[in-house]
Amino acid sequence: MKLLQQILIDAGAETERAFTVVPGFGGYFKSVKRVDEYTPEKIVLTVAKKKLTVTGEKLAIDKYFQQDLLICGEISGVNLE
C-alpha cells in the first residue's frame, strides 16, 4: 500500500489518522472490518465495534486491502455511531 499512501500524501491526506477525507478526491479509512451497506450515496462500514457511515455522491470503493479502504467520490459527511 506504499503507492496508495504516497498518492494520499500528495493529495493532502494524513495517513496516520483513523480516517482522512480529502475534498474532491474521497477518503482513506483504517481498521475496516466489514462493508455493511454500499450504494453510490451511502457506505456503511464496521470499524472496530462501531459503525461508520459515509454519505455523499458518486461514492465507490476503490481499494480494500488489509483493513485499509479507499473510497472515491464526493464525500459530504462521515458519522460514527
- Domain borders along the chain are 2-80
User: Is residue 78 within 8 Å of 21, Cβ to Cβ?
Assistant: yes
**pLDDT number for residue 79:** 92
Smallest CA-to-CA distance from 38 within 55, 26, 50 is with 55
Write the pLDDT tens digit of every residue in 7-35. Answer: 666 666 555 567 888 888 899 998 899 99
Read off the pTM.
0.79
Strands (E), the chain: 19-22, 26-29, 32-38, 42-47, 50-65, 68-80
- Does domain 2-80 fall under CATH 2.60.40.2000? My reply is yes
- The string of pLDDT tens digits covering residues 43-54 is 999 987 889 999
CA pair distance 67, 33, nearest whole angstrom: 6
Rounded average pLDDT over 48-64: 93
Q: Give the model's pLDDT for residue 34.
A: 95
